[in-house]
Structure 1
Amino acid sequence: MGHGKYRIITLFLAAPLTLYGVFVLSPFAQAFYISLTSWTGFTAAQPFVGLANYRKLASDPGFWTALEHNALLLVAVPLVTIALGLFFASTLNVGASAGTVKGVRGAGPYQKLFFLPHILPAVITAVLWQFLYNPQLGPINSALDAVGLGSLKATWLGDPAVALWSLAAIMVWTGVGFYVVLFSAAMQSIPKDIYEAADLDGSSRAQAMWRITLPLLRETVQVAWIYLGIAALDAFALFEVLLPDGGPDNSTNVVAQYLYQAAFQNGEFGYASAIGVVLCLLTLLMAAATFGLSRRETIEF
C-alpha cells in the first residue's frame, strides 16, 4: 500500500520537476558554464578559460564600485521602506486614536492610494521622476523655492553626491505601498483583544507597536526584507532608464548595470555571466543570512 503511494507521488511530481529542471536549473547551469568561457555572444565558439573571468572580477575596480552601491542600497532601501510600511500600516489598522484598536476612517482607499506607485511600470516611473527631479522645471526644486528652502535645491540626478540617494528614494516610493498592504493584512490577523489588554495596562501606541505588533509580524518583516534585498541587489530597470551610463562620475552604477555593459556594450558574455553567477550567490547568501539572523521560535496567537 505504502509502495503504491510513493509511486503515485513520483508520478505527479515527475512533470513539474522536469519543467523546473529544464526552465530553472538548466539556465543556471548554462550561465555557470558560459562564465568559464571567453564567449563574445556573437560567435558559435566558446573558448574555455576556466576561472579566468572570476580572477578578473576579483581585481576589477568597476565591479567593486558597483557592488558598493548595491550594498548601500541593501541597507537603506529595506530599512526605510519597511519602517514607512509599518508606520502607515499601523496607522491604517491599529491606532487612529487613544484607547482604540481601529485604523483611520476610510483605510481601504488609502491602501489603494499607497499601492498605486507599485503597479506603475518601471519605465513610466522613471519618466515621471525624471520630470520631478528636473533642476529647472521640476516641481521638487520649485516647491523648495516656494517654502524658502532654495538652498536645498540640487541637480538630483546630476550631482554625484546625491544621485544614488535620489534613485534610492524612487525605489522606496515605488515599493512602500506594497508593504503597507502586506503589513496591513498581517496586522488584521492579530486578535484585537491583545491591543485592548495592552491599552488597559496603560501601554502607549509606540509601546504596543514595539512589544506586540513587531514580534507578531516578525516572519512577515523577514519576507519583506528578503524581497527588498533582492530588489536592492538587482536595481536594473529604473537605473538603466534614468542613468544608463552609470550616473555622474559612475556614482550610480550597480552590479546589474555593470553586467549589462559587459555583455552588450563590451561583448564579454563570458565575463558578464561570471558577474551574474556572483550576483546570484550574493542574493542567496543575503536570503540565508536574513533567515539565520532572524530565526526565532514562532509566536502563536
Structure 2
Amino acid sequence: MAALRHGKYRFLAGAILPGLLLYAVFVLSPYAQAFYLALTDWTGVSGQVEIVGLDNFRRLVDDPLFLAALRNNGLLLLVVPAATIGLGLLLAALVNFGGRRGSTMVGGVRGGEFYKVAYFFPQLLSLPIIAVLWQFVYHPNEGVLNGVLRAVGLDFLARTWLGDPHLALWAVAGVLVWSSVGFYMVLFSAAMESIPRDVLEAAVLDGAGRLAVLRRVVLPLVRENVQVAFVYLGVLALDGFAVVQVMTVGPGGPDGSTEVIGLGLYRNAFTYGRFGYAAAMGVALFFLTLALAVVALRAGRREQVELS
C-alpha cells in the first residue's frame, strides 16, 4: 500500500512539475525581468545596466504625459465596461425575452440566433483591422459617419472626430465598445438561456412584467457573468494600445488627448530607448490591473454574501 502511495505521488509530480516549469519560464520569468528592469536605466541595446532604484517610479509621478495617459485610461475604465455591459445585457435580454409573450413565458425575438452571429462578427477581426476600418468611418471628409449626418441634413453635427482633442478619446472608446459588445451579448445570452424555465414561468404566473422579470430574476442570476465581464473589460480599458496606436494622430494626439499607458510604454522603449523607464510603466500598469481585478472580485463576493 505504501509503495502504491509512493507511486501515486511520483506520478503526480511527473504530471505537474513540467507544467509548473513551463509556467515559471514563460510567465513568471518575464514578470521578474520586468520588475528588475524597472529598477535600472537600461537602454535596450547596451550591455551595461545601472541600478537606479526607484528613480524611474519617481519620474512617473512628475511625467505630465504619463499622468495624462493615466487620466485617459481612467476615463476609458469608467466608460467602456459600463457601456459594453449595459448594451450587452440589453441586447441579450431583447434576444431572449423581447419576443411575443406566450401564455406562461416571455419569448425571445424571431431570428435570435442570426442576431447573435451578426453582433458577434466583430470578434472575428483583430483590433488593428477594426481600428483601420473605423479610421475610414471617422474620416472628416469621406467618412461614413459624417456622410450619413450630411445625408440626413445634420451637417452641423459633422466633426473631425479624431482631430478634435475633446472628441478623440470618446471616438476611441466607441470603437472599443463596438468591438466588444457582441462577445458579451453572446456571453450574457448564454447565461440567460441557462436560467431554469420554471423560475421564469413562476415569475410570469405571479404577474411580473418583462422589466420586473429582467430586474428581479434574470440580472441576479447572471451577476457572476457581469462581474467577470467587468474585469476583462477593465483590462481592455487599461490597455487600449492597439486602437490608439493605429487610429489616432501622433499617435496619442491631438495634444495627448488619446495618450494611454501602453502607448507611452511602447514609445519610451522602442523610440527613445528607455527600456528601464518603460518597464516601470509596465509595472505600474500591472499593479493597476491587479488592483482592479481584486476590487471587482471582492465586491462581487461581498454582494453574494449579502444576498445569501
TM-score range, shorter chain: over 0.9
Task: Tell me the equivalent position of 2:160.
Answer: 155
Letter in 2 for 1:257: L
Task: Tell me the equivalent position of 2:194.
Answer: 189
Task: Tell me the equivalent position of 1:249.
Answer: 255
1:4 deviates by: 4.7
Equivalent-residue separation in structure 1 for 2:266 and 2:58 (angstroms): 19
Task: Tell me the equivalent position of 1:286.
Answer: 292
Task: Tell me the equivalent position of 2:304.
Answer: 297
| Aligned match for 1:228, one of 220, 233, 237 | 233
Structure 1 range deviating more: 282-291 or 197-206 = 197-206
1:5 deviates by: 3.6
Equivalent-residue separation in structure 1 for 2:149 and 2:80 (angstroms): 24
- Contact 2:39 2:55 (8 Å CA) reproduced: yes
Deviation track 1:86-122 (CA, whole Å, cap 9, x = no partner) reads 1111111123123433211111111110011122122
| Aligned match for 2:57, one of 54, 58, 63 | 54
Do structure 1's residue 84 and structure 2's residue 84 form an aligned pair? Answer: no
Task: Tell me the equivalent position of 1:134.
Answer: 139
Do structure 1's residue 165 and structure 2's residue 170 form an aligned pair? Answer: yes
Task: Tell me the equivalent position of 2:223.
Answer: 218
Task: Tell me the equivalent position of 1:63.
Answer: 66
- TM-score w.r.t. structure 2 length? 0.93
Letter in 2 for 1:38: D
- TM-score w.r.t. structure 1 length? 0.95
Equivalent-residue separation in structure 2 for 1:4 and 1:64 (angstroms): 57
- Contact 1:34 1:270 (8 Å CA) reproduced: yes
Equivalent-residue separation in structure 2 for 1:92 and 1:299 (angstroms): 30
Deviation track 1:206-237 (CA, whole Å, cap 9, x = no partner) reads 11111111110011111101110010111111
**Unaligned runs of at least 5 residues, structure 1:** none
Deviation track 1:54-76 (CA, whole Å, cap 9, x = no partner) reads 11112212111101100110110
- Contact 2:106 2:210 (8 Å CA) reproduced: no
Task: Tell me the equivalent position of 2:244.
Answer: 239
Task: Tell me the equivalent position of 2:277.
Answer: 271
Equivalent-residue separation in structure 2 for 1:127 and 1:57 (angstroms): 31
- Contact 2:101 2:107 (8 Å CA) reproduced: no
Residue 304 of structure 2 aligns to a residue in which SS? coil
Structure 1 range deviating more: 291-300 or 166-175 = 291-300
- Contact 1:73 1:232 (8 Å CA) reproduced: yes
Letter in 1 for 2:221: L
Residue 141 of structure 2 aligns to a residue in which SS? coil
Q: 1:299 to 1:182 in 2, by over 3 A?
A: farther
Q: 4+ runs of 1 displaced by more than 6 Å?
A: none
Equivalent-residue separation in structure 1 for 2:179 and 2:66 (angstroms): 26
- Contact 2:244 2:251 (8 Å CA) reproduced: no
Structure 1 range deviating more: 139-148 or 14-23 = 139-148
Equivalent-residue separation in structure 2 for 1:149 and 1:80 (angstroms): 25
Equivalent-residue separation in structure 2 for 1:95 and 1:9 (angstroms): 51
Alignment of 1:199-218 (within 5 A): 199-218=204-223
Aligned length: 300
**What is the identity percentage for the equivalent residue pairs of Structure 1 and Structure 2?**
51
Letter in 2 for 1:46: V
Residue 110 of structure 2 aligns to a residue in which SS? coil
Structure 1 range deviating more: 14-23 or 139-148 = 139-148
| Root-mean-square deviation over aligned CA pairs | 1.7
Structure 1 range deviating more: 121-130 or 226-235 = 121-130
- Contact 2:268 2:277 (8 Å CA) reproduced: yes
| Aligned match for 2:116, one of 111, 116, 123 | 111
